[in-house]
Amino acid sequence: METSLIEQLDKSRYDFMKWSTIGWTIWFGTYILTDFISAPEVPGFISWIRLLGWFILIVSTIRFVKLKRELNWDNKMKEALDDELHLHNRIKSFQIGYFVVIGLTLLFFVLSLYTAIPAVIVTKLTLYFGVLAVLISKLIFNRA
């Protein structure tokens, strides 16, 4: 198996993860930000930032789909990339995401006993930090 190609594809995957994290942080972050900002001139500026985040997310997703399609013709390369360390790290990342979601749910539940929190904000924040926890932890584990 070609050594440099595996490392190249592994680096591409890491870059995809990195840009997806940035894209998600910006894109979905603006939805949360607009819930807290009520100034009339801010939403226009935020929509441009949102567009940038969306663009980053779309480009990185296209690159990832392209990489997956390229790998389809080479099973050995696919197996090498999705090796047991990768699968192990993926499970760990999803576990972290799961605990973040459970922790946030618990936090919002306790807060709701004292104050009224809009359901849409709770849903957005839980989704945002849950996905972010998975992405960031996967990046950290893959850095080894």
Name the residues that contact other proteins, by CB under 8 A.
Answer: 1-4, 6-7, 10, 76, 79-81, 83-86, 88, 142, 144
Q: Which of 47, 68, 59 is CA-nearest to residue 22? A: 59
Considering the complex, state which of residue 11 and residue 66 has its C-beta at the smaller distance from other proteins: 11
Q: Which of 95, 100, 90, 88 is CA-nearest to residue 132? A: 100
Distance CA 12, CA 60 (A): 10
Minimum separation from the CB atom of position 88 to other proteins (A): 7
Considering the complex, state which of residue 78 and residue 124 has its C-beta at the smaller distance from other proteins: 78
Minimum separation from the CB atom of position 13 to other proteins (A): 10
Backbone CA torsion sign across 15, 128, 26, 70: positive
Minimum separation from the CB atom of position 16 to other proteins (A): 15
Considering the complex, state which of residue 9 and residue 131 has its C-beta at the smaller distance from other proteins: 9
Contact (CB, 8 A) for 127 and 28: yes
